[in-house]
Structure 1
């Protein structure tokens, strides 16, 4: 079996974020819902491990759309883990189909690494951006996020708590939506 890295879908940020929100709606995923349960229902497994060890450090290893392992470090917070899970689901939903299409008929698996090298190749960097765009919109849909941001007068702590993400993720989403 050949294991390959993700390949970018090359959609715009707006298209990826719209797709993430539509996907969340399609599967009835609401902000704050259990991502561990979602991954399980999708056919995946979440595994925790120490990332300082020399073993492979991929964050997602996809054998098929309904057969994948997602890796989280022991030392991160639940809020950070939620964004990581959303990010890795972005790799699964955005990049695995591109990999399969590019390797038509070949038996390939996809692994996205947690840590990028210094000065990563442009396609690797693009995949990371795309997965981040997906995660932000999937976990913090624009309408409810903007409503809460305004309601709380931009209290990133309150917004982060409501969406079960880190304060930094909430602030980044607000900037992305032109709210901050």
Structure 2
């Protein structure tokens, strides 16, 4: 199995275990964090996962939208469930560099939030309208557009 397939399978498994149709993503994230003992906090310098004394913490930025936070949260969960290594300070932090771990976490987030089969079906249903897709999957319009591009979806 390729590492990319492992990323996709891990995202699907986590979603299938914790998310149910019609359930807000916020509730899904709360269930995952509660069961896996992951703390969620907000700070000026958000968007990272850290570990101190064995306790994992996901930090989100203070001034971003809920849909942006959904992608960030799924991305950080990707780092955790894909077991990406922490740096010497006990942090997984976006450095702005597109490392293999960052690409994997983005792929994980996309599959977790917008599962391929469901997304393709919804894209056809909504005539490839990114606004309707973003509402359906609780993600930003940008995330919907990137997912459509990655899946090579366009209106016919």
Normalised to the residue count of structure 1, the TM-score between the two structures is 0.72
Shift of 1:153: 0.4
Unaligned 5+ segments in structure 2 are: none
Q: In structure 2, what is the Cα distance between the partners aligned to 1:86 and 1:78? A: 12
1:112 to 92, 97, 112: 92
1:11-160 maps to which residues of 2 (within 5 A)?
Answer: 11-12=3-4, 14-25=5-16, 27-30=17-20, 32-33=24-25, 34=27, 35-51=29-45, 59-62=48-51, 67-96=55-84, 99=85, 110-114=90-94, 116=95, 120=97, 125-160=99-134
**SS of residue in 2 equivalent to 1:178:** coil
Q: Which has the higher contact order (CA 8 A, sep 6+)?
A: 1
Task: Specify the structure having the higher radius of gyration (Cα).
Answer: 1
Number of residues of Structure 1 aligned to a counterpart in Structure 2: 148
Work out whether residues 62 and 92 of structure 1, in 8 Å CA contact, stay in contact via their aligned partners in 2: no
Unaligned 5+ segments in structure 1 are: 1-9, 52-56, 101-107
Q: Which residue of 2 aligns with 1:177?
A: 151
Work out whether residues 95 and 127 of structure 1, in 8 Å CA contact, stay in contact via their aligned partners in 2: no
More helix by share: 2
